[in-house]
Amino acid sequence: MFDVRRLLKNTCFIMPHEIERKFLLKSIPPDLVKYPHYRIEQGYLMATPDGKQVRLRRTNCGCTLTFKTEEGAVREEREIEITAEQFGALWPATAGQRLSKTRHKVPWKGLTIEVDVYAGINQGLTVAEVEFPDRTACQEFQPPDWFGEEVTDNARYSNVVLARE
């Protein structure tokens, strides 16, 4: 049986805050497949209307359990690594709240643009997320010309909504 209290007691939390912006794309960046990329399977154990989320994620690098609060560009985020066995025990609870995508890491002026190409029920959707070291860098960011509309504050493009459709 999976014991969340035991897991949390002996785990270090990573990255207390994230500052990021999300954009639709006007076009796919040239040579996207040449950049490092990996598959993501993601499911939600909980999501509340005020922005609290508990998420499971599996990539080729491992599995994580993540807690997020609030919405918008600046959010609290606590992420812990879990074993594949723990992921497998929790994954069934995410039924009906899952998504899959391939994430490409594109370098851009000292930052990394994460281009997410969705699969499954979100096939055809491609978005770009940029994470910033601080609020100033976030506010001063000038996106490349292949970016389209900013959707940071548009709930329609949040992963939790995409996972439920």
For the domain spanning 16-164, the CATH number is 2.40.320.10
Q: Length of the chain, please?
A: 165
Q: Where are the domains of the chain?
A: 16-164
Segment 13-28, tens digit of pLDDT? 444 678 999 999 999 9
Segment 109-143, tens digit of pLDDT? 999 999 999 999 999 999 999 999 999 999 999 99
Single pTM value for the model? 0.85
pLDDT for 153 beyond 70: yes
More confident residue, 50 or 145: 145
pLDDT for 7 beyond 80: no
Phi-psi region of 148 (alpha: psi -120 to 50; beta: other; left: phi over 0): beta
Segment 99-113, tens digit of pLDDT? 999 999 999 999 999
Q: Return the C-alpha torsion angle 159, 42, 77, 34, nearest 10.
A: -80
Of the candidates 21, 58, 30, the residue with the CA atom closest to the CA atom of residue 43: 58
Cβ neighbors of 54 (< 8 A, separation 6 or more) are 44, 45, 46, 47, 65, 66, 67
